[in-house]
Amino acid sequence: MMNETKTLYLMRHGETLFNVENKIQGWCDSPLTDRGIQQGLAAHEFFQSIELDHAYSSTAERASDTLELAIDARLPYQRLKDLREMGFGTFEGESERLNPKSPKEYQSFFVPYGGESSNAVGERMLKTLTGIMSLEDRHVVLAVSHAGACFNFLRMLQDPTEELAKGFTNGMIFKYQFTAQQFHLEEVIRPQI
């Protein structure tokens, strides 16, 4: 069916040690905190009544650990590098105080330091998620990724200002409809944990 409507749940991983310590993570990793584990378990409750047919996570352990909590081994999943966070180059592991102050400043700030541009991340996410959702047997999919990756994906689709103002919290879930090769944001679920 060419115009079948499919559903993508794009989730940000649970809270990590670096989130608590206000450190830039990017492609480096840190473990889920107790709160991050609780966020993964809250996602498990949310997805209990949803018939997922495929699941994906970035290659970062914080994302795959969150996904494993959310789906509780009810289906296999695949880890994909292209779902990983924005690369921040030599800023990774450093204080978030060093981050640019606005999304516009992020666009190419990290490139001279070995990182990625915001557009590169958004395009990577759009290509990867479109590829996943275009497969015939993908109807209701969960993908666990990262704040910067989720933000830049949304930025490829619409002005993200309103959602950014509400916060890109750990464990949040973006529900997208996918029809005729286009994504449409239906709702954002922000668990209160």
Q: How is 159-177 classified by DSSP, letter by letter?
A: --HHHHHH---TT-EEEEE
pLDDT, tens digit, for every residue of 1-38? 457 999 999 999 999 999 999 999 999 999 999 999 99
pLDDT, tens digit, for every residue of 151-160? 999 999 999 9
Instruction: Quote the pLDDT of residue 110.
Output: 98
Helix axes 34-47, 61-71, angle to 10 degrees: 40
Residues designated as active site: 13, 85
Instruction: Quote the pLDDT of residue 104.
Output: 86
pLDDT, tens digit, for every residue of 54-74? 999 999 999 999 999 999 989
Cα atoms in the Cβ-side hemisphere of radius 13 Å centred on 100 = 14
For residue 143, the SS3 value is: strand
pLDDT, tens digit, for every residue of 68-99? 999 998 999 999 999 999 999 999 999 999 99
Instruction: Quote the pLDDT of residue 2.
Output: 58
What six digits make up the tokens of 80? 């994909």
Cα atoms in the Cβ-side hemisphere of radius 13 Å centred on 68 = 10
pLDDT, tens digit, for every residue of 140-188? 999 999 999 999 999 999 999 899 899 899 999 999 999 999 999 999 9
